[in-house]
Amino acid sequence: MQAIHAAPALPFVPATTPRDSGRSVIQHLERAAIFQDYKDAFETTTGLPLALRATGSFNSPLHDSKRVNPLCQLMAGRNKTCANCLLVQQQAEEQARTEAKTFQCFAGLSEAAIPVRVGDQVLGHLQTGQIILHAPTQAGFKTIERQIGSETPAKEVESIKKAYFGTRVLTKTQFDSIVRLLAVFSAHLSSISNQVMVQESTAESPVVAKARAYIQEHYTGEISVGEVARAVNMSTFYFCKVFKAGTGLTFTDYLARLRVESVKHQMLNPHIRVSEAAFAAGFQSLSQFNRVFRRVAGESPSDYRDRVHGTAPHQEHGNRAA
């Protein structure tokens, strides 16, 4: 697998409406070179399909992959099978909100869903799988036969049987390791989601663009809404209205999210201390930082770092940042 490198810092573009903006971000990420490169490397290395699915899309995205399991491909067009697949997708979306989850369909095939999150909002899921965690059995195939029904032509049944017994078998340990790789990549996608939007975004109000550029240049120090308003030649009152309309956030919320994204980006480096990252991003105190980070990211800074690097919870010089 190719190494994941921290992306260069780019201006922050916050989401505006949860579902629509989440779908838009996922669409941007799907087209981004970083996802396409990782997908090619992942599928080539593991032989498994990989897809990125927006929240609310209950179709199985793995069916479109070149690595789709032949059994799933054969079963996809059947009404009862499709209904079962949709139930698995719904289960994945409802349960895989804070961490990766593995699910099993009626045929005994396992899939994993790994959430891509920004704060407490789930934008979508990375999905892979269509494998069996044990050797295929006659009893397992009998379950499939009952599902497809006795009216299925014998030749088609034989093709389905061949595909079932030819399904890739992995141990739970092997599959868990693959899922952990995707969890790390998911955290990386979350951290660059706003950057990808900037790279592919359409034109915006010149005033808002100028304000964002000014904030981007000065956010690591003390900065006020009045200062930014003066930089774009507006009254503070009118600037607040224009900025909220253009970004979907108040100045205070925008600045908080920008600083939190900066900290998250810095913490991709496992050697940096949380406190160092916080002060470098412009936070004036650790208590303020911990409160803002939890509100924006939906978890404590240390929990985020542990999740990104796959490490056990730890304490930083006796005080866990929370």
Question: For the chain, what's the residue count?
Answer: 322
Give the pLDDT mean for 201-209.
70
Q: Is 39 strand, coil or helix? A: helix
For residue 286, is pLDDT > 90?
yes
In this predicted structure, what is the pLDDT of residue 15?
41
**CA distances (Å), 234 to each of 213, 214, 231, in order?**
16, 14, 8
CA distance 132 to 149: 22
Of 88-92, 124-128, 184-188, 292-296, which gets the smallest average pLDDT?
Answer: 88-92
Percent of the chain having pLDDT more than 90? Answer: 41
What tens digit of pLDDT does each residue of 19-57 get? 555 677 888 788 888 889 999 999 999 999 999 988 877
And the tokens for 235? 């009254």
Mean pLDDT of 284-310: 87
pLDDT at residue 316, rounded to an integer? 42
Residue showing tokens 């930082």: 289
Q: 51 has which bridge partners?
A: 127
**Structural domains of the chain in order of their starting residue, each with its CATH number:** 18-194 (no CATH), 203-309 (1.10.10.60)
- What pLDDT, on the 0 to 100 scale, is given for residue 67? 87
Give the model's pLDDT for residue 315.
42
**What is the average pLDDT across 172-193?**
89
Tokens of 181: 């790789």
Do residues 112 and 122 touch, judged by C-beta distance below 8 A? no
| pLDDT over 60 at 321, yes or no | no
* HSE (side-chain half, CA atoms, 13 Å) at 256: 16
pLDDT(168) > 60: yes
Task: Give CA–CA dist 167/44, Å, rounded.
Answer: 17
